[in-house]
């Protein structure tokens, strides 16, 4: 085959080359070798071989007899591996062109008889390469190579393929061939015959794998790697402990209620601490978890915010608790967040105790509070109900011991048990990013024992526990059931409410975290609306009509971010839209400022500030960075900013009316109205509406306003004046001229 013919053949197969010096891909070359390699002729009978007895005599006796093809016999040389370029005697079609269907062309040699032109190397590309002209000597103890090109016959694919293989999806060509026990080129060749050009590192879809399964006669079982990994998580969830391994654990008590009803103050009284003094505005804006040990009494308290924006925090606290304490101010009674907390407790199916706080105030009325709560379905025990009511005072300490005794009694009734010997699992309550210790994850250990050095999987995050912190200050080595601790050592920032598990296999936990992170990215990508040709014009029209306010939120804890997002997403209007570009835990960084600069966004820091480089970059480029400590201040400012983007409302203000009593005609000026102001006033800058018989016949502006011969700026009621309506002369005696102006008023959401 000539170079030109080979180039034409490659171009017809979709692999064009520029010249005869171009390089061909080895995989394509191997396929063409296998496709166009002629079949090896059958070996001659044994008596015709060169080494057989009497062969020499036969050749001498018959010199014109055809010789055996080259390569027959143990000591024969192989033909050169380079393609020959030969043409027919007539100079017409080439030999290679006529040999595409037959695999080769027979030519006649007068001395040697018919022989086959080999235009591809005889040796397979998978054979070992050796020096040109070198002979292969058979090793001792091994059989000599066969007459078919000097190679031993390879076993067929049917002898190698198993009946069934299991592979993880997605699978590459290389992985599938390894599972089947065949070479990758075999699968590539089969797919090429089906018109699919693939590489060994390319992933195969399920339809292609099914076709290969049918062609090869092998049952290929596809297994999901993420399902295998999630199975390990389900095994930890369904872990069954022996009855003799269960021990009594401390109850988890959550304080819930309306804002400013004294939940945190009551908890501070129990713990002898002062958390309220550290909260901005005197209201709780973070979820707190504490362990209280008083002699033989051990209780875990969870404090939830009472502001309306922290709905998710209250729901999260209700879902992990054993007993809920509903704090109601005795002088205020139940409020909207009180009713919401009751609904969260009922949805979680936990016991509820009502603490009537602020009982020491003169305006306290416990009886009225009980009646109001009874209307909400909470009937006191003394009224033949099933809800315990305890009157307490966070300021004086009245009723605190009674509340603790009631909690202890409720926990004994529940018979709370846990197995401290099993691998730990629990729930993430809060996430905080710090510059010194990294990500602090507050978790509640619900079962098992968490130790320093354990490898933890938490949502899409993982890591080895470097330290455990109890109550924010105490370093401990292990945390048993019902312990709220802060974990240091996780990579990434998990979401609040995620479950955490302790894995013995670090590799499996890392793989599962990676799979979850990939699914989160795919979900975020799916939420973004793609612009196509079909919805391009609708998208552009919507963008032109709706104005956007872009913001970036950075906060100290993940729970505050969720609360801010929920509160801000409730601000909706058809003309303006709030777009939250990015949220994160930790200080405002230089990357946040760059994002705000590129997208013209406002950066909001909630309980966090910008570092030095971020502050300098923001000042240099004029990026608006705002700091807040109270959540309702953020909501108010964002709402005001959205209202400023609304188109103003155009309104009319009527200043006064004047009656035309005389019309003066001037040749150069036109008709001048001699008027008497009947009500209000008329200004030179006002617009004029001409009214005749109760109908508006013209609306325009004043060209001049005079009293006698003097130009004036304003004429008040009960005064006469002369007015010239600009570019309008169709006025009559008795017409009414109404003076008004248009004003822009700021609209509200």
Confidence of residue 196 (pLDDT cuts 50, 70, 90): confident
CA distances from 325 to 339, 351, 529 (A): 13, 9, 44
> Could you tell me which residue, 498 or 104, shows the higher pLDDT?
498
pLDDT surpassing 90 at residue 683: yes
Whether 596 and 551 have beta carbons less than 8 Å apart is answered as: no
Q: What is the mean pLDDT of the chain?
A: 77
pLDDT score at 632: 79
The 3 state secondary structure assigned to 497-524 is CCEEEEECCHHHHHHHHHHHHHHHHHHH
pTM of the model: 0.54
Q: Which long-range contacts (CB under 8 A, 24 or more apart) does 361-365 make?
A: 361/330, 361/331, 363/331, 364/330, 364/331, 365/330, 365/331, 365/333
Segment 491-516 shows an average pLDDT of: 84
**Fold agreement (246-418, 540-645):** yes
pLDDT score at 86: 41
User: HSE-up of 465 (CA within 13 Å, CB side)?
Assistant: 30
What are the pLDDT digits (tens) for 121-132? 433 333 333 434
pLDDT score at 533: 52
DSSP β-bridge partners for residue 548: 577
Segment 464-488 shows an average pLDDT of: 90
What are the pLDDT digits (tens) for 368-383? 999 999 888 898 888 8
Q: What is the DSSP letter of 609?
A: -
pLDDT score at 280: 46
pLDDT surpassing 90 at residue 135: no
pLDDT score at 561: 85
DSSP β-bridge partners for residue 724: 704
Whether 393 and 385 have beta carbons less than 8 Å apart is answered as: no
Q: With CA atoms as reference, report the closest residue to 499 among 129, 233, 247, 692.
A: 233
Q: With CA atoms as reference, report the closest residue to 221 among 163, 165, 160, 175.
A: 165
Q: Which helix (H) or strand (E) holds 185?
A: helix 184-193
Q: With CA atoms as reference, report the closest residue to 448 among 468, 470, 476, 422.
A: 422
pLDDT surpassing 90 at residue 654: yes
> Could you tell me which residue, 288 or 736, shows the higher pLDDT?
736
pLDDT score at 222: 80
pLDDT score at 113: 47
pLDDT surpassing 50 at residue 551: yes
Segment 288-295 shows an average pLDDT of: 79
Query: By percentage, how much of the chain surpasses pLDDT 70?
Result: 75
Q: Assign residue 241 a region (left: φ > 0; alpha: ψ between -120 and 50; beta: otherwise).
A: beta
Whether 342 and 350 have beta carbons less than 8 Å apart is answered as: no
The pair of three-digit structure tokens given for residue 464, joined into one six-digit string: 């080895």
pLDDT surpassing 90 at residue 114: no
pLDDT surpassing 90 at residue 691: yes
Confidence of residue 539 (pLDDT cuts 50, 70, 90): low
Helix (H/G/I), strand (E/B), else coil: 536: helix
pLDDT surpassing 60 at residue 506: yes
pLDDT surpassing 70 at residue 279: no
CA distance 520 to 117: 61
pLDDT surpassing 70 at residue 659: yes
Confidence of residue 45 (pLDDT cuts 50, 70, 90): low
CA distance 639 to 576: 11
CA distance 222 to 175: 12
pLDDT score at 487: 92
Domain range list for the chain = 3-69+80-116, 157-225, 246-418, 425-525, 540-645, 649-745
Q: Which CATH architecture has domain 540-645?
A: 3-Layer(aba) Sandwich (3.40)
Q: Please, where are the H alpha helices in 45-125?
A: 55-61, 95-98
The pair of three-digit structure tokens given for residue 364, joined into one six-digit string: 């306290």
The pair of three-digit structure tokens given for residue 164, joined into one six-digit string: 């069934």
Burial class of residue 631, CB neighbours in 10 A (0-12, 13-18, 19+)? buried
Whether 607 and 564 have beta carbons less than 8 Å apart is answered as: no
Q: What is the DSSP letter of 170?
A: S
Q: Which fold has domain 246-418?
A: Rossmann fold (3.40.50)
pLDDT surpassing 90 at residue 717: yes
Q: Which CATH architecture has domain 425-525?
A: Beta Barrel (2.40)
What are the pLDDT digits (tens) for 56-110? 444 444 444 444 444 444 344 444 444 444 444 444 444 444 444 444 444 444 4
Confidence of residue 633 (pLDDT cuts 50, 70, 90): confident
pLDDT surpassing 50 at residue 207: yes
| CA angle (373 as vertex; 370, 377 as ends), nearest 5 | 125
The pair of three-digit structure tokens given for residue 349, joined into one six-digit string: 């199916």
pLDDT surpassing 60 at residue 749: yes
Q: Which residues of 13-38 are buried (b: 16+ CB within 10 A; e: fewer)?
A: eebeeeeeeeeeeebebbbbbeebbb
Query: By percentage, how much of the chain surpasses pLDDT 90?
Result: 19
pLDDT surpassing 50 at residue 444: yes
Q: Which CATH architecture has domain 649-745?
A: Beta Barrel (2.40)
pLDDT score at 603: 93
């Amino acid at each position: 085959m000539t170079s030109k013919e080979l180039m034409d053949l490659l171009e017809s197969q979709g692999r064009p080359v520029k010249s005869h010096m171009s390089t061909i891909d080895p995989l394509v070359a191997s396929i063409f070798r296998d496709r166009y390699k002629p079949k090896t002729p059958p070996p001659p009978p044994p008596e015709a071989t060169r080494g057989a007895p009497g062969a020499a005599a036969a050749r001498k006796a018959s010199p014109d007899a055809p010789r055996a093809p080259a390569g027959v016999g143990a000591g024969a040389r192989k033909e050169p591996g380079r393609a020959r370029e030969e043409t027919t005697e007539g100079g017409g079609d080439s030999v290679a062109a006529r040999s595409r269907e037959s695999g080769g062309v027979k030519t006649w040699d007068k001395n040697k008889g018919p022989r086959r032109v080999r235009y591809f190397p005889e040796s397979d590309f998978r054979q070992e390469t050796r020096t040109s002209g070198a002979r292969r000597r058979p090793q001792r103890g091994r059989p000599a190579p066969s007459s078919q090109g000097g190679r031993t016959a390879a076993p067929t694919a049917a002898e190698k393929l198993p009946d069934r293989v299991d592979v993880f999806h997605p699978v590459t060509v290389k992985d599938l061939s390894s599972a089947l026990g065949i070479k990758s080129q075999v699968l590539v060749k089969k797919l090429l015959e089906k018109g699919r050009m693939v590489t060994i590192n390319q992933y195969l879809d399920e339809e292609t794998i099914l076709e290969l399964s049918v062609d090869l006669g092998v049952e290929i079982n596809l297994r999901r790697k993420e399902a295998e990994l999630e199975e390990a998580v389900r095994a930890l969830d369904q872990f069954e402990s022996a009855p003799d391994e269960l021990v009594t654990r401390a109850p988890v008590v959550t304080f819930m209620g309306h804002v400013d009803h004294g939940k945190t103050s009551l908890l501070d009284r129990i713990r002898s601490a002062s958390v309220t003094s550290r909260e901005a505005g005197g209201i709780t804006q973070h979820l707190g978890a504490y362990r209280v040990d008083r002699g033989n009494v051990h209780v875990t308290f969870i404090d939830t915010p009472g502001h309306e924006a922290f709905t998710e925090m209250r729901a999260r606290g209700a879902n992990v608790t054993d007993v809920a304490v509903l704090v109601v101010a005795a002088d205020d009674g139940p409020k909207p967040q009180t009713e919401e907390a009751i609904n969260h407790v009922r949805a979680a199916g936990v016991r509820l105790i009502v603490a009537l706080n602020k009982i020491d105030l003169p305006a306290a009325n416990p009886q009225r509070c009980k009646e109001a709560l009874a209307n909400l379905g909470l009937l006191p025990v003394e009224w033949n109900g099933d809800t315990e009511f305890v009157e307490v005072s966070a300021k004086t300490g009245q009723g605190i011991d009674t509340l603790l005794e009631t909690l202890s009694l409720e926990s004994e009734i529940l018979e709370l048990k846990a197995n401290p010997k099993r691998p730990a699992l629990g729930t993430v309550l809060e996430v905080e990013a710090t510059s010194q210790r990294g990500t602090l994850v507050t978790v509640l250990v619900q079962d098992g024992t968490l130790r320093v050095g354990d490898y933890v999987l938490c949502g899409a995050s993982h890591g080895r526990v470097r330290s455990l912190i109890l109550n924010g200050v105490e370093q401990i080595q292990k945390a048993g059931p019902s312990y709220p601790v802060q974990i240091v050592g996780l990579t990434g920032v998990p979401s609040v409410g995620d479950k955490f598990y302790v894995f013995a296999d670090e590799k499996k936990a890392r793989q599962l975290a990676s799979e979850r992170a990939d699914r989160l990215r795919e979900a975020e990508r799916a939420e973004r609306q793609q612009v196509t040709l079909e919805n391009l014009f609708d998208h552009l029209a919507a963008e032109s009509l709706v104005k956007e306010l872009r913001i970036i939120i950075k906060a100290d804890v993940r729970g505050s971010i969720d609360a801010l997002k929920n509160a801000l997403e409730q601000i909706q209007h058809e003309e303006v839209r709030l777009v939250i570009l990015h949220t994160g835990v930790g200080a405002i960084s230089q990357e946040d400022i760059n994002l705000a600069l590129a997208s013209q966004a406002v950066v909001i820091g909630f309980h966090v500030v910008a570092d030095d480089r971020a502050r300098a970059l923001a000042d240099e480029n004029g990026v608006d960075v705002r700091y807040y400590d109270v959540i309702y201040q953020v909501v108010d400012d964002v709402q005001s900013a959205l209202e400023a983007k609304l188109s103003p409302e155009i309104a009319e203000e009527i200043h006064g009316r004047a009656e035309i009593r005389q019309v003066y005609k001037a040749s150069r000026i036109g008709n001048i109205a001699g008027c008497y102001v009947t009500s209000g006033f008329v200004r030179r800058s006002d617009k004029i509406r001409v009214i005749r018989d109760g109908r508006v016949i013209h609306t325009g502006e004043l060209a001049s306003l005079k009293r006698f011969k003097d130009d004036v700026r304003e004429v008040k009621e009960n005064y006469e004046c002369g007015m010239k309506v600009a570019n309008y002369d169709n006025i009559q005696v008795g017409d009414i001229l109404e003076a008004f102006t248009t004003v822009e008023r700021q609209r509200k959401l």
